Amino acid sequence: MQGPEAMKDPAQIAAGGRIRIRDLLPAGGLLCAGLAGLAAASLQGVAGNGAWLVVAPPGYSLPETIGMVGAADGGLIDTGRFGNIVIAASAEPGFSDRLRAAGAWLVVPAPVTLGCGAAPAEGQTS
């Protein structure tokens, strides 16, 4: 073959030279189904260790977020990198519902480790 046809990928030549959106739909559907399953699994359930990850509205300072946890009869376990993210717990049943009623945007069972959202320990640089 000579000319521009010699430089094209054989798969593109067989498909008429273009990749069509409908060719990507099965992969996109699998991606969406997988992400939906992961989101459902992480957002439902009860906190196994009694701790909850609490995300207050943007702009909340750490004292405001701690006050919201206290108003829901809970206590602070740890803080996140931002003032509106904390790990909290309560011995009282219905704690997560009271946090949502107090204005929390997100209340989910806390992960075992805080991961990259945690503030570094004092004296720790990385």
Q: Where are the domains of the chain?
A: 4-43, 51-117
Residue 101: pLDDT over 70: yes
Report which of 113, 13, 12, 102 is spatially closest to residue 53, judged by C-alpha positions: 113
Cα–Cα distances (Å) from 2 to 6, 13, 17, 75, 94, in that order, read 6, 14, 16, 74, 73
CATH number (3.30.70, 1.10.10, 3.40.50, 3.90.25) of 51-117 reads 3.30.70
Spell out the residues 6+ positions from residue 123 whose beta carbon is closer than 8 angstroms to its own: none
Alpha carbons 80 and 119: distance in angstroms, whole number: 5
Weakest mean pLDDT among 64-68, 71-75, 82-86, 113-117: 113-117
Decide if pLDDT at 23 tops 90: no
- Residue 109 near residue 51, CB atoms below 8 Å: yes
Q: What is the pLDDT of residues 30-79, one digit of tens each?
A: 999 888 887 776 666 555 667 889 999 999 999 999 999 999 988 999 88
